[in-house]
Chain A
Amino acid sequence: MMAAMICLGSLGCVAALLLAMAARRFAVTIDPRQVALMEVLAGANCGACGFPGCDAYARALVAGTAKPDLCRPGGAETLKRIAAILGVEVTERPPQIAVMYCQGGLQQARPKYDYQGLQDCRAAQKLARGPKLCPAGCLGLGSCVQKCPFGALSIDARGLAMVDRGRCTGCGLCVAICPRQVLALAPATESIHVLCNNRESAARVKSYCNVGCLGCRLCVRTAPESFVMDSFLAQVRYGRGQPAVMAEAMERCPHHCILNLDEQGNDQILPTPPSARERSTP
């Protein structure tokens, strides 16, 4: 009995000693700034900064190999604190939010074929360039929904991806993953958008979609300061829009492609009534 206890006891001592030595020998010295950075980063490990996780980004920041303004989810607050920790000057970037530029749901846009396979937009896009006749519209299979680390995306009743503007941090991961480039980042302050991504001619758009931009230029003619044409697609000139005239263009758009997304961002379907429109556009 005694022998066994001595045996075990000394074994334990030796093991402890070895462990202590190993800890000393293999200790990693962590820059205290890195620890501090870890505190201020958003901690979502979303990868929006281009590093495999917050930890890696913090290390790169300390090493000086990364720009300090890459943590989009953290926003202005995080940026300021990173700058303070690193002692560098930064200019704040205006916050951005993802916008899904398509309204052509199952009822509005014609399918090209009956897709059977992986529920993944990128995989579906590889089969005859996607199951929708529109070459640019949302496929609604939700690759972006799975990617978003902040739960800001969902597929709505129309079969379209929808951005919850309250939750979106503008990390841009969904933009990178969407095979149809129908998601894009736009200034968070902008609430009026032309919700179409199709640059084809009116004849073609009409043949497969009830709600696509026809390229009729009505909006540009109504509000030349606020809209611009890109091939057959109208776009809002972000930062230059004049809400009052835009409201008129909204009314006149034959396919009702110009929408004012409400502040919570979960209502893309209805153009908000004029009263609310005035409120939400400063």
Chain B
Amino acid sequence: MEPRTPLLIVSPSPHLHAGLTTSGMMGTVLLALLPAAATAIYLFGLPALRVLLVCVLGSVAIEALWQKATDQPITVRDGSAALTGLLVAFNLPASSPWWLSLLGATLAIVVGKQVFGGLGHNPFNPALVARIVLLISFPSAMTHWTAPQPGRFLADAITAATPLSESQSAVMLSGHLPQHISEFSARYLLGSMPGCLGEVSALVLFLGALFLLWRGVISWHIPVSYLGTVTLLSGIFWLMDPGRYPHPMFHLVSGGLMLGACYMATDLVTSPLTTRGMLLFGCGCGLFTVLIRLFGSYPEGVAFSILLMNAVTPLIDRYVVPRPFGMDRGRELI
């Protein structure tokens, strides 16, 4: 044979790439969530920090272990396990013991993601799978809320109720909303209320979402259609009976809605591919959220509605397809 000369690389076109990668996207979402994590630590102190650390590190470790055990390439570097862990933490109360956090991380990674074949193959949002399983198995630990004590990192926990459960039980008992909820106050916006780590800082989460929009990591379709549907529906009810149904603004800032609409419903893997599909998906989420919040037996409906719509996503992808350019609907695809 002749001596070897340096070979030219031959690869299929295109020979350019936009530069946005899976790990880059995950990293950007993590970055966008950091302020919210900081807010949670500020409000709930060290317990929040513990939950966050256990969930994030736990998820990464468990994914690595699982992939090692099943002889797959280890892909924790793509950041998706860390992101899942962070979202699990955001779905837990600050008071969760370490084992509950770790269990949540395990459920999310193993049951929510890996058993389906890993990233890209899971039909449901892993963090929400974990949340729902924990909520059903450990209802008391999962609804043991503590009141936020801004800036007092070492303070003793004070048990409290979330605004949503407060309003629900008040309506059930007396038929009308308590005073402080029917008169919506701005403190909710900043998150000074009891709840899960990611349920308390709607404003910070919203700013993070704007950052993601600007970076092109998420598109506007799901958040806007989701939040829009919630506003519209809850607004109708509020107009009908403001004493019984809370103001739409209250819905927007309380509970996990902002987190769900901007970070969990927009999860790439479990939401539809097409923009029309995304709009439909967002509207569906909004509809179920309002229905569950106002009429369901759980005070919060975001997790359930997103999971429900996750289940419908394959259907949406199947029926909401773009019409190929230059084809008529009837004669298409022969």
Contact = CB atoms under 8 A, between A and B. Distances in A.
Interface in A119-171: 123, 127-128, 131
Contacts of B11: 115-117, 127
B240 interface: no
Contacts of B1: 110, 206-210
Contacts of A206: 1
Interface in A195-242: 206-210
Interface stretch (B2-10, B224-232, B251-259): B2-10
A117 B14 CA distance: 11
Interface residues of B, number: 9
A130 B198 CA distance: 53
Contacts of A123: 12
Contact of A116 (B2, B4, B9): B9
B14 to A, nearest CB: 12
Contacts, number: 35
A111 B1 CA distance: 11
Contacts of A115: 9-11
Interface in B1-35: 1-2, 4, 7-12
Contacts of A118: 12
Nearest to A128: B10
B7 A116 contact: no
B15 to A, nearest CB: 10
Given A207-B1, A209-B1, A210-B1, A114 B7 contact: yes
Nearest to A127: B10
A170 to B, nearest CB: 31
Contacts of A110: 1-2, 4
B255 to A, nearest CB: 35
Contacts of B8: 113-114
Interface in A55-111: 110-111
Interface string B219-259: 00000000000000000000000000000000000000000
A117 B13 CA distance: 10
Contacts of A208: 1-2
Nearest to A209: B1
A149 B4 CA distance: 38
A113 B7 CA distance: 5
Given A206-B1, A209-B1, A111 B12 contact: no
B12 A113 contact: no
Interface residues of A, number: 18
B10 A114 contact: yes
A117 B178 CA distance: 63
A208 to B, nearest CB: 6
Nearest to A210: B1
Contacts of B2: 110, 207-208
Interface string A168-189: 0000000000000000000000
Contacts of B12: 117-118, 123, 127
A228 B4 CA distance: 33
Nearest to B5: A110
Contacts of A210: 1
A139 B11 CA distance: 15
A116 B8 CA distance: 11
A112 B1 CA distance: 13
Nearest to A130: B10
A96 B2 CA distance: 38
A128 to B, nearest CB: 6
Nearest to B3: A110
Contacts of B7: 111-114
A118 B10 CA distance: 12
A1 to B, nearest CB: 22
Nearest to B15: A116
Contacts of A114: 7-10
Interface string B94-114: 000000000000000000000
B286 to A, nearest CB: 34
A179 B269 CA distance: 34
B4 A113 contact: no
Nearest to B10: A113
B10 to A, nearest CB: 4
A131 B9 CA distance: 10
A207 B11 CA distance: 24
A113 B4 CA distance: 11
Contacts of A112: 7
Nearest to B11: A116
A163 to B, nearest CB: 24
Contacts of A116: 9-11
A112 B5 CA distance: 10
A254 to B, nearest CB: 14
A208 B7 CA distance: 14
A45 to B, nearest CB: 21
Given A113-B8, A127-B11, 17 more contacts: A110-B1, A110-B2, A110-B4, A111-B7, A115-B9, A115-B11, A116-B9, A116-B10, A116-B11, A117-B11, A123-B12, A127-B10, A206-B1, A207-B1, A208-B1, A208-B2, A210-B1
Interface of B: 1-2, 4, 7-12
21 contacts: A110-B1, A110-B2, A111-B7, A112-B7, A113-B9, A113-B10, A114-B7, A114-B8, A115-B9, A116-B10, A117-B11, A118-B12, A123-B12, A127-B12, A128-B10, A131-B10, A206-B1, A207-B2, A208-B1, A208-B2, A209-B1
Shortest beta-carbon contacts, A-B, top 6: A116-B11, A113-B10, A114-B7, A114-B9, A117-B12, A117-B11
